[in-house]
Structure 1
Amino acid sequence: MTGAPALQFDAASLILLNIIMACMMFGVSLSLRLEDFRRIALAPIAPLAGMVAQFVLLPAATCLFTWALNIDPELALGMILVSACPGGSFSNVMTWLARGNVAVSISMTAVSSLAATVLTPLNFALYGWLNPHTRNYLTQISLEPASMLTLVLLILALPMVLGMVTGRRLPGFVARSEKPLRIISLLVFLSFVAIAFSKNFGLFIERFHSFFWLVVCHNLLALLLGYGMARLCRLPHSDRRAVTLEVGIQNSGLGLVILFTFFPDAGGMLLITAFWGVWHLVSGLTLSQFWARRPLPADDPAVQQPIATEQYT
């Protein structure tokens, strides 16, 4: 154990965070259709490239990174937890801003969220155990994979199914509510992160130097892995942008839910996970604006067959 101070976080706040996460997943899923999954079956290269980077390369690279640098076990486990999470919902909007392939982004978000019900608990337990610096700490915090699996199912899979059913049966509701729901979800989530930081302000200031650059470098690693995998697979530029942002924008909200449910005394893990929730929005929006000012090549499929983006406008 590292002896980090315990978090100040009550049961009511945990329930609120679970509700926020479920609502965000519900909002994202309103625009999902079965056709999004069929699209993957017909053209799987881009989503598969992103999934490999998301659930194989990023957790493995994070484990090696934290092992090689002998990072504090709590901070290292926070990084491993984030790397085990699926892509974040805001990657879809950022992909649209970046002139990327929105269809690929939405498809990846849907599939990675479903895959995360199994792969998030599995990857966290596996890579936390493989790193010898975190192995002992992981055994002390009493990890319960079955309970974690149930939690992820409840806040990801169930809201996704409800959102898809609602979107199919109530298209008028979707048209009116999707954009406000995204904005409200973002504001509420950021407010929640701010409250979490304010309640643990002393811990935040005390250890700022130890986690700030870890999060910045870790996020850069995720973006580079996404872009590198997409380029290695020779994907069109619009698909590269979608895959890059999908891998670089992690669902850190899910990480917070897992953290506060199972590891309430792990202050170092909170610092990494909560700051990820802020930083990846900064880096993602910055990269989106960079790409937005660089038109796609004329032969890119997204230029020849423009992607529908009414839901974001």
Structure 2
Amino acid sequence: MLPVDDIRLNFNPAALALLNGVLGFLMFGIALDTRLDDFRRVARMPWAMAVGIAAQFLVLPAVTYALTLLLGVGPSIALGMILVACCPPGNISNILTHRARGNVALSVSMTAISNAIAVVVMPLNFALWGGMHPTASALLQTIALNPLEMVGHIVAIIGLPFVLGLWCAHRFPQGTQRIKKAVHVLSLLALVGFIVGAIVGNWRFFLDYVGLVLLAVALHDAIAFATGYGCARVTGLADYERRAVAMEVGVRNAGLGLVLIFSFFGGLGGMAVVAGVWGFWDIIAGLALASWWRRKVPQGGSQQGVKA
């Protein structure tokens, strides 16, 4: 069996182009459920928003970097963990926050702001922490990753669809209301389908190497949820706000990570396996945590309702 750093997963160019389209459609769907009021709402909860954004873009990548060193994982696995940590959240975090009886208004606003910020911050964050890693940095030098090129790719697949969705939601509110649920369902199913397809298409590799990453992914995911909750707690946020921040930090858009891995890293083994496993484990762990919280009334604040 080849070392995981030496394998390349297969994903043909046509399928990758379609995956880019699916991810853009997913971002368009997130934007359809976003209103300008979500951005104005930041002014009414600046501290909670600042804590959540800092936990995602400052604390989680740093904690992830430390975790890769502590676990002593291979270079490509370390890069995969760092890349996932740098990804923005997906709108499933809003669904899980509602189920967890958390602050849905805060969750929705954080998702919108985080995805806007990630267009620029994500590639810079990844280049910083990946470039500092004692073993993974050599892979980045071999690949010669250009952060500006990654910014352009992210703008194309999440920035432009997000802006288009915001415009449609503002310009055609009634039509948006009728189609947004169907768009959410279709885009999420398509994304899950592609993640499953990537795994099935490279089943031998996943079967051979999943044991190397499953524990790391499970531990990493648990630490991501704990990082969000812990940051919210030490900064004095109410319980129902802590739950929202935990979901926003714990749920990463592994589909975006998978696109970038195939686009810029040639399907590098450890990275692709980490993103593929994270894609389904994250949902399982998030649902389990949300279901547990659902049985407990949040303390220190009144639960916020769901956006229509």
1:12-161 correspondence to structure 2 within 5 Å: 12-161=14-163
1:1-313 correspondence to structure 2 within 5 Å: 3-297=5-299, 300-302=301-303, 306-307=304-305, 309-311=306-308
Deviation string, structure 1 residues 122-142 (Cα, Å, up to 9, x no partner): 111110111111111111112
Q: One-letter code of the match for 1:210? A: L
Match of 2:6, SS state, is coil
Q: One-letter code of the match for 1:235? A: L
Q: Distance in 2 between matches of 1:124 and 1:117?
A: 12
Q: One-letter code of the match for 2:302? A: P
Q: Distance in 2 between matches of 1:301 and 1:223?
A: 22
Asked if structure 1 preserves the Cα contact closer than 8 Å seen for 2:32 and 2:169, the reply is yes
Match of 2:236, SS state, is coil
Deviation string, structure 1 residues 133-171 (Cα, Å, up to 9, x no partner): 111111111201111000111122211111111111212
Offset, 1:175: 1.7
Deviation string, structure 1 residues 238-284 (Cα, Å, up to 9, x no partner): 11111000000001111111111101141110000111111111111
Alignment RMSD: 1.4
Q: Distance in 2 between matches of 1:76 and 1:9?
A: 21
Match of 1:60, SS state, is helix
Asked if structure 2 preserves the Cα contact closer than 8 Å seen for 1:64 and 1:131, the reply is no
Asked if structure 2 preserves the Cα contact closer than 8 Å seen for 1:26 and 1:163, the reply is yes
Change in CA separation of 1:177 and 1:262 when aligned onto 2, cut-off 3 Å: same
Q: One-letter code of the match for 2:48? A: A
Comparing 169-178 with 56-65, greater Cα deviation is found at 169-178
Asked if structure 1 preserves the Cα contact closer than 8 Å seen for 2:105 and 2:307, the reply is no
Q: One-letter code of the match for 2:200? A: S
Offset, 1:179: 1.4
Q: One-letter code of the match for 1:82? A: V
Change in CA separation of 1:265 and 1:167 when aligned onto 2, cut-off 3 Å: closer
Offset, 1:3: 4.6
Offset, 1:182: 1.4
Identity score, percent: 41
Gaps of 5+ in 1: none
Deviation string, structure 1 residues 58-111 (Cα, Å, up to 9, x no partner): 101111111233210000000000011111221011111111111111111111
Gaps of 5+ in 2: none
Q: One-letter code of the match for 2:301? A: D
Offset, 1:310: 5.0
Change in CA separation of 1:3 and 1:213 when aligned onto 2, cut-off 3 Å: closer
State the aligned residue count.
Answer: 306
Q: Distance in 2 between matches of 1:175 and 1:265?
A: 38
Match of 1:153, SS state, is helix
Asked if structure 2 preserves the Cα contact closer than 8 Å seen for 1:236 and 1:301, the reply is no
Match of 2:135, SS state, is helix
Q: Distance in 2 between matches of 1:70 and 1:256?
A: 23
Deviation string, structure 1 residues 154-209 (Cα, Å, up to 9, x no partner): 12221111111111121222221111221222211111111100111111011121
Q: Distance in 2 between matches of 1:155 and 1:195?
A: 20
TM-score by length of 1: 0.94
Asked if structure 1 preserves the Cα contact closer than 8 Å seen for 2:87 and 2:122, the reply is yes
Match of 1:71, SS state, is coil
Asked if structure 2 preserves the Cα contact closer than 8 Å seen for 1:62 and 1:80, the reply is yes
Q: Distance in 2 between matches of 1:43 and 1:206?
A: 47
Match of 1:132, SS state, is coil
